[in-house]
Structure formats: structure tokens, C-alpha cells
Amino acid sequence: MRQVLFHVPFLDVPVASFGAMLVVAFAFGVFWGGARAAKVGLPQPRFQDMVLWIIIAGFVGARILYMIQYSQQFQDKSIGGLAKAFFQIWKGGIIFYGSALGGTIGYGLFYWFVLRRMNINKWQLADAVAPILALGLAIGRVGCLLNGCCWGQVANEETCPVPLGTIHFPLLSAHAQKQLVETDGLQTSIGFGIQRHSSDDPRTVVAVVESGSAAAAAGVKVGDRIVSVNGQPNACILEFLGQPEKVDAALAVCQAQGGQAEPSEAGASRPAAAAFDRLESYTKARADLTAKGLAGTILTETDSLDRLVRWDWPRGRNDIDLVVQREGKDVPLPSFTPRTVGFYPTQIYETVSMLLLMALLLAVYPFRRHDGQLMTLLMIGYALHRFINESLRIEPAVGSGLTLSQWGSVIIFTAGVAMEVCLWIWAPSRWKKKLRGTETSN
């Protein structure tokens, strides 16, 4: 997993892997698809216009469907909050069937306003672009793999063979972290368990280290107190909850003792907090809060490490640097990268499956019985693959034990079969045309 491919030199702008793969897929679609579309009478400039319509409409549909299916991820339900979250695809992603629906609408609009005036055979055009769509899906899943999304179920190679082997994502930046750590309790956040945070010194103290973990290999030991994280002090943090005026008063007390205040934002899941780089400042602020009757606003005592892991881990960073206090001395530890438990590599399965489907479509193209047959084969082939692949993923069921994408697969499969039957009945047979041409030449 590599969520950030690289940073633009001199500008320090991160280039996200998921977005980069979408650009690669778009480039293949424009240039290869344009060449194939030109052979059926659609000029490349018009084909590029069509791709833009489909890409934009497909993105809108894919993102909207994702936000509907995973609505619990979006705490801020205001119009502004949802609009902001709409463009943050790196925080979750998109759903293909949403893009299929949106892309179909985009194509329909383009056909109505442009194509129907150009005497283009829409079924020949569909056959020309079908292999490119399969390639685009294959490239898109590479982006999912690099981004760490669309993961499969937890797999145990020791008890059940896993085709192509399990995949272990860097845990701290993995989208699956919350589910693995908080929901399912399958592993700790960074390879060790901690003691309950103390009000006297809330900085993390190691209670137990996972055997064989990256943390154990880096030398983390029971009893270590974390005093520095990624080159910064492991600050002591007070989190506040209560009446707004009392919380504001508590933050003011903390600021007077050198604390950095972080007010709670509307719609945000995290409480207001104050951070202290020095233990002495934290101790004085806590005493002042008690003396002024504001201790009741304290929700919990914690530290920077806890908040980093819960909310603020920097995107694209996989490793962690710790300095621990051990026997009265500060001991720097080597960087280490916590890893997730093993998953089925469903992203790789789809990439391989779509490349094979693309090869099949290209092989069938010269021998297709009628125009439109490649598109129906793509629909049927992808629906079959996605239905099976979805059974290896962790997705909520929406009816009869099937996930939303599995129901989408049923719909796409049914539509593909229905289209193929109709085309077989009503579309002119290319086989008969070739046979007549052979008889005429003889």
C-alpha cells in the first residue's frame, strides 16, 4: 500500500496513488478508446468529449452511492459538510456500480445531444469501448490496492489456502484500521497494549507487546513510557465535554498555563482539548481547573499518540518513530511499520479478472455474432466476477444476505442477458454477412 506515490518537487504537493491510477485509466481510455472509436466512425475529438461526460457523471454517481452506503462515516450531515466530504475520495472511495449508473446517464445525455445527430451505430461503438472499460477497471483496482481500500475479509493461510497469498497493509494508514482495532478487536493499533491513562501523567505506558509484531522487533518493552512520537513530544492532553461556556473557560485556563487549545468543531466527533508539551504545565493546569471548579468538564486524560492513532495520522506515512522513557532514560527506538492481519487480496483478484476479461473481449471481437455482443459479454462477465469477489469482502448486507454490490451484480447480469437475447433476435447477424460475402466471392 502506498497512498502517496510521491511529492511534487519544490512544491511538496502529494500525488495520491488512487488519483494517479484514475488518470492512467483515463489516458488509456482517451487514446486507445479514441483509436478504436474512430474505426466505427466517431472522430477522436467527439470521443474525448464523450469520455469527459461519462467520467464526470460516473464519478458523481460512484461517490454519491458510496456516501449513501457508508453514511455512518460522515459525521457532519450539513450541506457544507457533505459537499466537502464529497470530494475527499481518499478517505473512503467510490463504488463501481454507482459509476456505472452515473456513466450511463452521462452517456445517455451525450447521445441525446451529440451522437444521435452523427449517424453513429451505438452498438458498434459499445463493442469498441468494451475492452477499454475492462482495462479501466483493472487499473482502478490497482489504485484501490495502493490506497488500501476495498479490502477482503480477514484470511488465515495456515487454515485455508489463499489464492495469490494474503495481503498485509500498513496498519496506521489503512482504511481498515478502525474495523480491525475498535470494531472487531483483532489487533492493537501499533503492536502493543497500553495501561489506563493516569491523571498524574497521561502519556502512554506499554502494558503488553504483541509477540512477533513490528513493535516487538523494534524493541518496545513492557513498562516503556512513550515520550516522543515522530520527532515531537508526546503531549499530555485534556479532553473536555460539557456546557459550552464551561468548556471555553477550561480551555482559557489551559492556555494560561501554556496549553494549546483545540475547540470542538460543529459536526465533529472529537471533543474540545488542550495539549501540553511539558508535564509540569499539564500538572499546573489540572490543579487550576480543580481550584476553579472546572474539573467536571474533563472528559478524559490522554496523549498525542492516542489522538494521532485515533484521528490525526498523516496520510501517506506508514512508519512510526518513538522515544521511550526506560529506567529513567530516554531511549530512541528504530522506526517500525505496524501491519494489519492478513486479508484476501480482492483488489488483485479484480485486476487479474478484468485483464483476462479484456483479453477475451479482444479475442471475440472479430468473431462476434452481432454488434453489441462484446458489451453484453462485459456486463455478464463483470457481474459474475463481482458477485463472487464480493463474497470475500466485508460489506453490510442490504437484503436476503446480499450486499449492495451483489444486488448490483444481479441487476447487471440480468440486464446483460436480456440485452443479449434481444440483440440475438433483432440485431443483424455478422456471421450471415460474412457467409454471403464468401458465397459471392466464390
Q: DSSP secondary structure string, 313-380?
A: PPTT---B-EEEEETTEEEE---B--BPPPB--HHHHHHHHHHHHHHHHHHHGGG-SSTTHHHHHHHH
Q: How high is the pLDDT of residue 325?
A: 94
Q: Do residues 137 and 200 share a domain? A: no
State how far the Cα of 364 lies from the Cα of 373, in Å rounded to an integer: 9
For residue 90, pLDDT beyond 70: no
Local structure of residue 13 (DSSP, 8 states): E
The three cell numbers locating residue 258: 501554556
Indicate if the pLDDT at residue 269 is higher than 60: yes
45 and 139 assigned to the same domain: yes
Amino acid at 16: A
Structure confidence at residue 268 as a pLDDT band (50, 70, 90): low
Confidence of residue 417 (pLDDT cuts 50, 70, 90): very high
Name which of 10-14, 203-207, 376-380 the model is least confident about. Answer: 10-14
Distance from C-alpha of 357 to C-alpha of 184, rounded to nearest angstrom:
35
Out of 306, 332, 358, pick the residue that ends a domain: 332
- Residue 218: give the domain boundaries: 177-332
Of the candidates 232, 288, 227, 292, the residue with the CA atom closest to the CA atom of residue 257:
288
d(CA 428, CA 423): 8
- Partners of 14 in the beta sheet? 7
Whether residues 81 and 131 share a domain: the answer is yes
Judge if 292 and 207 occupy the same domain.
yes
379 and 283 share a domain? no
* 322-326 vs 298-303, strand pairing mode: unpaired
State the average pLDDT over residues 237-256.
91
Query: One-letter amino acid identity for 231?
Result: G
Residues near 100 by beta carbon (within 8 Å), at least 6 away in sequence: 58, 61, 408, 412
Q: 148 and 191: one domain?
A: no
Contact 206/219 with Cβ under 8 angstroms? no
Task: Classify residue 260: in a domain, yes or no.
Answer: yes
- Tell me how far CA of residue 413 lies from CA of 183, 332, 381, 421, in angstroms: 34, 57, 8, 12
Residue 404 has a CB neighbour count (10 Å cut-off) of 19
What is the mean predicted confidence (pLDDT) over 67-71?
73
For residues 291 and 390, state if they share a domain: no
| Residue 389 and residue 280 share a domain | no
Whether residues 389 and 412 share a domain: the answer is yes
Would you say residue 366 lies in a domain?
Answer: yes
Whole-number Å distance between alpha carbons of 371 and 366:
11
pLDDT of residue 299: 86
Number of domains in the chain: 2
Residue 220 has pLDDT above 90, yes or no: yes
Q: Same domain for 324 and 346?
A: no
User: Do you know the residue count of the chain?
Assistant: 442
284 grid coordinates:
499546573
- Helix/strand/coil for 111: helix
State the pLDDT at residue 82: 74
